[in-house]
A and B are shown apart, each in its own frame.
Chain A
């Protein structure tokens, strides 16, 4: 057996004169779980698309299982045992598991009808090889996301995949599901010699589960090495993060202590369906208030209600000293609220509009010289201010917004609110799907806005994020506020206790209350 399952050497790729990959080397051993990390735009996806045969390289060599390949195409790569599992799952929800597994190459019985029995038998065999328990006749739509992913992996194994590429497989999974998928991946690698290339932003998982890492930065390979202590690993999570961005990011301090102004927003007794129960809070000028809690504990509904996207059943909101009860986002905006929804692709990006139009959409009326007729100059000016303030990187304002990296897209949908000078910004998961470097830029932006006196509400499920930038945080549990933490009380531990329904003592030994032995 060849020493390397995959060897890519001196890969060069340019797009319209811009180099995306500069003589990149990348090698994976048989039976290895290999993490390919890098910021958005570092070239990971391009490299993998070359391997998958989707994108043609300008120059370079690719060897699969010791065999040099002169021409790459999706068909050839599939034949050679390279499988690509994309971030967006590629399964048909309305079909059963076995139908998905054999989609397009159904097994036939002698008379030409589909052979359900044979397909189910083979499906069961592959699942037992993977040591998972999935019913081949279950409807895929009824499965958990992680199980759908397992179905995709099973499909690639049925195609005799020797190398499986997984692009950000864990973004939509819960912690339990992540563990399950990783156990499966490790098992496949160890027992069956399958090589797995794992593309991810989540460095915690990378360090915990992978055998080897390769870091790309700006189209160049900057580092690679083992991750297992028994292989002589010498890096930790912070090291890899540093290599990705070229500077020490995890320890970058973004919080700026500052004077907080008078109350700008006051909500009392907010009730939204069963999701939000009797929530009251206030927000001062220039304050960053975090709202955290576990998934589904009402923080999303709360901010959507405040902005007017969901009807509030009971309670009152006072904004800038005036009662405000928005029943439509347009009214929320009119009252001086800005809102960054979570789930950018679905709720924030207007895919057919240009970068510029996505920025100016919020305050188009201000781009007019007469009536409702747009002035190209004013519109460009507004967009350009946003670009400078947020250092959004792109080549042309008229390009499609979807051509931007995730981090830059997020900056676009955040920066669009600045043109209306909001008094309060509601940010829902502001760094969702954004890489480490861009995350810090967004944090710094949020701090800058706070310093300018904008009141900011941030919802996030990531305790680290809340601790990093918030002056104060509310922890929600089952729709109501379980506790409020000031900056000096903000610890991962305290947040975890409150968000799982525990209580904090008022003294320093806060954990003692929950400790059954005390």
Chain B
């Protein structure tokens, strides 16, 4: 017994690097940025900016990570978020109640994700295909209903949901990001459902033969993503005060997948850590920020992002093979 515990505590450098490489990369990027820019970079307002600019996609990424770990993927999250956000704004405008809007967002988003989950599990269609189709459907319905335009709100209390500054300096939107990170981390690590999500993604057959309703687990993963999308929809629409049917939320699905992947979530399922997805979101934000501070043409930002995604996965592959 004792020897078991002793060896558990022994942490080699290799293990340490494997486990914390993402954090180290984040710290390294901060150090580089600080050397390049000095105090401009290290200021609180700059950090708040970085996180706020990536918090909406980051919140979606937490749900996305769970879905990928469960062995699926969701390409419709961007379109779903905009669809949910526009209905929410409409409800807020008609009822004048921000609360009713938030409730609508959760109810509508979870319903959509439930449908996704049901088609994927009961219909046995690969999630890639299902959500690819849903993405077109959502976006098209949205553009049709809004006539290619957008929807705005003047509701003051709804606007405060995102932009109210806690203690006078901490925007609520950032609080949501960290709260969602904490909730999703907790679910993934400390609940039965979380463990089952990893199990299903790792070996669905063996999990089923352990007497676990694997379809249900996969649907729950989609539902959690649906809840994350609802939070993202409210955060985005409340900060902007408007939603555009053609331009809002484009590319969010790929950015959310990118954050998960940079954080070490494996596309084949079963592997990944939610804390690292959070760092994936930081890294994503830092790239943007550093490049802007250094004065690289913003048109080149995506090239750097793409390179970082590939390098991150390359490094993880290498460290797993060792």
Interface residues of A (CB under 8 A from B): 307, 309, 328-330, 332-334, 339, 341, 346-353, 357, 361-362, 364-365, 367-368, 372-374, 395-398, 416
Contact = CB atoms under 8 A, between A and B. Distances in A.
Interface residues of B, number: 26
A349 B201 CA distance: 13
A329 B212 CA distance: 7
A364 B191 CA distance: 9
Nearest to B186: A373
What 3 A-B pairs have minimum CB-CB distances, sorted nearest first? A333-B211, A352-B270, A352-B202
A334 to B, nearest CB: 7
A337 to B, nearest CB: 8
B211 A334 contact: yes
B195 A351 contact: no
B199 A350 contact: yes
A365 B192 contact: yes
Given A350-B207, A364-B195, A372-B193, A328 B213 contact: yes
B297 interface: no
A373 B208 CA distance: 21
A396 B7 contact: yes
Given A351-B270, A364-B196, A372-B193, A395 B209 contact: no
Given A372-B192, A373-B190, A396-B4, A353 B211 contact: no
Contacts of B4: 395-397
Contact of A368 (B3, B192, B205, B211): B192
Given A350-B202, A352-B271, A329 B209 contact: yes
Contacts of B202: 350-353
20 contacts: A329-B209, A329-B212, A333-B210, A339-B211, A346-B203, A346-B206, A347-B205, A348-B206, A349-B206, A350-B203, A351-B270, A353-B198, A357-B195, A362-B211, A364-B195, A367-B192, A374-B190, A374-B192, A398-B8, A416-B210
B107 to A, nearest CB: 23
Contacts of A373: 190-191
Contacts of B206: 341, 346-350
Nearest to B211: A333
Contacts of A339: 209, 211
B83 to A, nearest CB: 31
A347 B209 contact: yes
Contact of B195 (A349, A374, A397): A374
A317 to B, nearest CB: 16
A357 B270 CA distance: 13
Nearest to A398: B8
B67 to A, nearest CB: 16
A169 to B, nearest CB: 26
Nearest to A331: B211
Given A368-B192, A374-B191, 19 more contacts: A307-B209, A332-B211, A341-B206, A347-B205, A347-B206, A349-B206, A350-B203, A350-B206, A350-B207, A351-B203, A352-B271, A353-B195, A361-B195, A361-B196, A362-B211, A364-B195, A364-B196, A365-B192, A395-B7
A349 B7 CA distance: 24
B215 to A, nearest CB: 9
B191 A329 contact: no
Interface in B152-208: 190-193, 195-196, 198-199, 201-203, 205-208
A49 to B, nearest CB: 15
A341 B211 CA distance: 12
A332 B210 CA distance: 10
Contacts of A328: 213
Contacts of B212: 329-330, 361
Nearest to B9: A396
Contacts of A332: 211
Contacts of A374: 190-192, 195
Contacts of B191: 372-374
Nearest to A375: B190
A159 B279 CA distance: 49
Interface string B14-58: 000000000000000000000000000000000000000000000
Nearest to B266: A352
A309 B199 contact: no
Contacts of A352: 198, 201-203, 270-271
B193 A348 contact: no
Given A396-B7, A416-B210, A349 B192 contact: no
Given A351-B270, A372-B191, A398-B8, A361 B210 contact: yes
A309 B204 CA distance: 13
Interface in B207-232: 207-213
A373 B8 CA distance: 23
A410 to B, nearest CB: 13
B231 to A, nearest CB: 21
Nearest to A343: B205
A348 B202 CA distance: 11
Given A333-B211, A396-B8, A398-B8, A353 B199 contact: yes
Nearest to A334: B211
Nearest to B1: A384
A356 to B, nearest CB: 11
Given A350-B199, A350-B202, A330 B213 contact: yes
A351 B195 CA distance: 13
Contact of A362 (B193, B198, B203, B210): B210
B219 to A, nearest CB: 14
A327 to B, nearest CB: 11
Contacts of A307: 209
A334 B206 CA distance: 17
Nearest to A348: B206
B188 to A, nearest CB: 11
Contacts of A333: 210-211
A328 B210 CA distance: 11
A332 B208 CA distance: 11
B133 to A, nearest CB: 28
A469 B69 CA distance: 41
Contacts of A397: 4, 8
B124 to A, nearest CB: 15
Nearest to B272: A352
A352 B210 CA distance: 15
Among A307, A350, A372, the one with the most B-chain Cβ atoms within 10 Å of its Cβ is: A350
B7 A330 contact: no
A329 B270 contact: no
